[in-house]
Amino acid sequence: MSADFHPLIYIIDYILGVIMWTLIGRVAMNIFQKEDSQFFFMRVFVKFTNPLLSIFKPLTPKFIIQPLVPLYVAWFFFMIRFYLMPWVLGYSVMGMLSFPLESEISRQIYQFFNSIKF
């Protein structure tokens, strides 16, 4: 972690990031599987995201087709992570630190591929 933020900030962002990516994963998985599929990963995506979808149901417009509703809800988590978190913390711009989860993952991928000798 490159900045001097309180660890709670990273924990909150990681939780929000995992929720956001799980919702996006459900939409991507729904391209290949039906929601009532017996495929293990699809059942996990549906089980973990259905409570969130029911919470956001009053904010979800009726014209959005059902398979895209998780993407719409993921957009809320993106907005919270990109705009609300820096504003609450008092930063006008956080740059790459707006997404510590993705920054850490990309750093690990970079280190992994840098360590491979061809």
- Residue 1's pLDDT band, with cuts at 50, 70 and 90, is very low
* Rounded alpha-carbon distances, angstroms, from residue 72 to 36, 55, 76, 93, 94: 20, 13, 7, 24, 24
Give residue limits of the domains in the chain: 7-115
pLDDT by residue (tens digit) across 55-112?
Answer: 999 999 999 999 999 999 999 998 888 877 777 766 655 554 567 777 778 888 888 8
Burial class (CB in 10 A: 0-12, 13-18, 19+), 92: exposed
Local structure of 94: helix, strand or coil: coil
